[in-house]
């Protein structure tokens, strides 16, 4: 780091950025009609909401066990299906394996397209097409995992060591053999780590998928919220938080032991 | 590395995993799929293939263009609020700023973890109840959630920064504020801006979904269109969202590359 990089040099540039950000702030506040005084105006409502919210209805806890298990099962199955499809596509998306710019560009474009659709919108769309239920949730998670993991995977494949590939092709291996024997061993631990990361993210997002009818614990959350049964909402949110925390901790440990 | 080199432990965990997956596959309820029929699927596809272009702009303020702008506005304001509010939290939760009082950092980190643990949708639900449905609820939901995210990332960057630079400054006799202005801010500014931009991108994506619970943006008309099965409208909205997210991805990508 040199002295030229400190705040005082090129101050006019910083000023310009600051003004630009202020304009953005004002513009967004104007568009969204944000009024921060609203937060304080409704303080009595906030108090009544929070006072019920801090008294979770613990008697409801046993009934939450099954939907929570369903949510975990949905994420597990969805993650697995997504991973199965992600592996071949991530190989297709790199020029190292295909040696064909067209195929990899098309695969990358499709992956980018899939990743831009937010999970919940995808769930809402699939619910409308495939009907309400857990199967739709699994499908949503699978598509989401597919987009995320293949992106991470092809970036991992691009950074591998080329030596083993050259060695394998020198002894006459075909492309599939190269993929299995020279590339896969190099990215296996990264792949496992990404798989656990995907599972972690999926558990997080699958808890709210039920909100649009895609099964799991979100279904009860939606109905309790609609009935304004905040004691129940509170215990559901608490259960989600604890489950997500446990899954996070477990997957972090596994990922750390892999690294 | 291949099958021969696998240890017993890996094989056992793999077998366990497969059993678990099978169990969950059997346990789930597939009755929802019964309503699926090929003719309905064709109907959906036909609708999606014909976007309703006159929804793009009609000057009423309820068209695609103004709703997309609103969505971007929600994301922008939410991220800005979060960035501003995350900095004080970073200042409490970085261990290298509180070397003699390590318990202070625990408080800051706890706040971040709690805020981060709630899904955005739940914040949106809560804020819709508190400030009423509308874009402002979306702004608050994104803002509060991102404080946790950004607070954690900012703290990590602060903790991993090069302490040698600070020692050098102390050696030449700089006081606390001089160190902040001459070393910490110039060192961390590009990294923080890059992280904030990345989160702006994520916020646009979630702002598009928060409308599902009445927190403004493009989500509300989309969910109405899906429920009424007007696939031509769904199609144009999805195209709009995808293109917006894609363009913003590219722009922030370019800026972030320059910052590095």
Cβ-nearest to A32 among B31, B70, B238: B70
Q: What is the pLDDT of residues A193-250, one digit of tens each?
A: 888 888 888 888 888 888 787 777 888 888 887 787 888 888 888 888 888 888 888 8
Judge whether residue A3 has pLDDT over 70: no
Give B233→chain A minimum CA distance, Å: 12
| pLDDT attached to residue B4 | 57
Residue B147's pLDDT band (boundaries 50, 70, 90)?
very high
Residue B164's pLDDT band (boundaries 50, 70, 90)?
confident
| Average pLDDT of every residue of chain B | 83
Residue A68 lies in a domain: no
Give B100→chain A minimum CA distance, Å: 28
The answer to whether A241 touches B113, Cβ cutoff 8 Å, is no
Question: Which residues in chain B touch residue A39, judged by CB atoms under 8 angstroms apart?
Answer: 130-131, 140
Q: Is B5 on the interface with A (CB under 8 A)?
A: no
Residue A137 lies in a domain: yes
Q: Give the range of the structural domain holding residue A224, as residue numbers without chain letter.
A: 76-257
| pLDDT attached to residue B5 | 60
B95 secondary structure, DSSP code: G
**How many structural domains is chain A composed of?**
1
Question: Which residues in chain A touch residue B138, judged by CB atoms under 8 angstroms apart?
Answer: 32
Q: What is the pLDDT of residues B224-257, one digit of tens each?
A: 888 888 888 888 888 888 888 888 888 988 888 8
Residue A58's pLDDT band (boundaries 50, 70, 90)?
confident
Residue A230 lies in a domain: yes
Q: What is the pLDDT of residues B93-137, one digit of tens each?
A: 888 777 788 888 888 888 888 888 777 888 888 888 778 888 888
Residue A130 lies in a domain: yes
CATH number of residue A132's parent domain: 1.10.3720.10
Question: Which residues in chain A touch residue B162, judged by CB atoms under 8 angstroms apart?
Answer: 1
**CB within 8 Å of chain A, chain B residues 170-189:** 181-183, 185-187
Question: Which residues in chain B touch residue A38, judged by CB atoms under 8 angstroms apart?
Answer: 131-132, 136
The answer to whether A116 touches B246, Cβ cutoff 8 Å, is yes
Question: Which residues in chain B touch residue A208, judged by CB atoms under 8 angstroms apart?
Answer: 119, 121-122
More confident call, B249 vs B57: B249
Residue A18 lies in a domain: no
Q: Which of B112, B126, B164, B167 to mutate to test the interface with A (most CBs of A within 10 A)?
A: B126
Residue A103 lies in a domain: yes
- CB-based burial label for B163 (10 Å; 0-12, 13-18, 19+): exposed
Question: Which residues in chain A touch residue B65, judged by CB atoms under 8 angstroms apart?
Answer: none
Residue A57 lies in a domain: no
Residue A53 lies in a domain: no
Q: Is the ipTM of this complex over 0.90?
A: no
Interchain CB distance below 8 Å, A31 and B69:
yes
Cβ-nearest to B136 among A38, A49, A185: A38
């Amino acid at each position: 780091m040199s002295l030229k990089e400190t705040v005082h040099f090129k101050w006019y540039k910083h000023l310009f950025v600051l003004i630009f950000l202020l304009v953005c702030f004002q513009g967004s506040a104007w568009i969204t009609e944000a009024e921060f005084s609203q937060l304080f105006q409704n303080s009595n409502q906030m108090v009544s909401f929070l006072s019920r919210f801090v008294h979770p209805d613990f008697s409801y806890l046993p009934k939450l066990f099954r939907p929570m298990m369903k949510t975990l099962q949905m994420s597990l199955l969805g993650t697995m299906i997504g991973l199965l499809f992600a592996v071949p596509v991530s190989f297709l998306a790199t020029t190292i394996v295909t040696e064909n710019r067209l195929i990899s560009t098309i695969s990358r474009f499709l992956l980018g397209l899939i990743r831009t659709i937010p999970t919940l919108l995808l769930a809402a769309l699939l619910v409308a097409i495939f009907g309400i239920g857990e199967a739709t949730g699994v499908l949503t998670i699978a598509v989401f995992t597919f987009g995320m993991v293949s992106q991470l995977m092809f970036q991992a494949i691009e950074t591998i060591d080329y030596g083993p590939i050259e060695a394998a092709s020198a002894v006459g291996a075909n492309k599939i053999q190269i993929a299995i024997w020279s590339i896969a061993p190099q990215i296996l631990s990264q792949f496992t780590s990404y798989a656990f990361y995907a599972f972690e993210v999926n558990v997080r997002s699958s808890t709210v998928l039920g909100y649009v009818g895609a099964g799991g614990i979100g279904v009860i959350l939606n109905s309790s919220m609609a009935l304004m049964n905040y004691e129940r909402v509170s215990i559901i949110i608490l259960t989600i938080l604890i489950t997500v925390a446990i899954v996070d901790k477990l997957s972090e440990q596994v990922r750390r032991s892999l690294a | 590395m291949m099958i021969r080199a696998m240890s017993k432990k890996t094989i056992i965990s793999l077998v366990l995993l497969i059993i678990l997956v099978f169990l969950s596959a059997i346990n789930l309820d597939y009755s929802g799929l019964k309503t699926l029929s090929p003719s309905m699927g064709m109907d959906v596809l036909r609708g999606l293939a014909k976007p309703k272009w006159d929804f793009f702009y009609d000057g009423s303020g309820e068209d695609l263009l103004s709703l997309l702008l609103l969505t971007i506005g929600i994301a922008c304001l939410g991220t800005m609020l979060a960035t501003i509010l995350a900095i004080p939290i970073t200042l409490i939760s970085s261990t290298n700023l509180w070397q003699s009082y390590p318990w202070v950092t625990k408080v800051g980190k706890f706040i971040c973890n709690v805020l981060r643990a709630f899904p955005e949708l739940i914040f949106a639900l809560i804020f819709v109840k508190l400030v009423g449905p509308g874009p402002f609820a979306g702004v608050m939901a994104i803002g509060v959630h991102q404080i946790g995210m950004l607070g954690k990332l900012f703290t990590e960057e602060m903790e991993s920064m090069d302490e040698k630079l600070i020692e050098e400054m102390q050696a030449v006799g700089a006081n606390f504020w001089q160190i902040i202005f001459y070393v910490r801010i110039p060192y961390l500014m590009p990294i923080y801006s890059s992280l904030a931009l990345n989160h702006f991108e994520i916020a646009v994506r979630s702002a598009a979904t928060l409308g599902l619970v009445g927190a403004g943006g493009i989500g509300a008309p989309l969910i109405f269109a899906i429920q009424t099965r007007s696939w031509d409208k769904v199609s144009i909205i999805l195209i709009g969202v995808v293109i917006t997210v894609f363009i913003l991805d590219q722009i922030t990508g370019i800026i972030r590359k320059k910052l590095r």
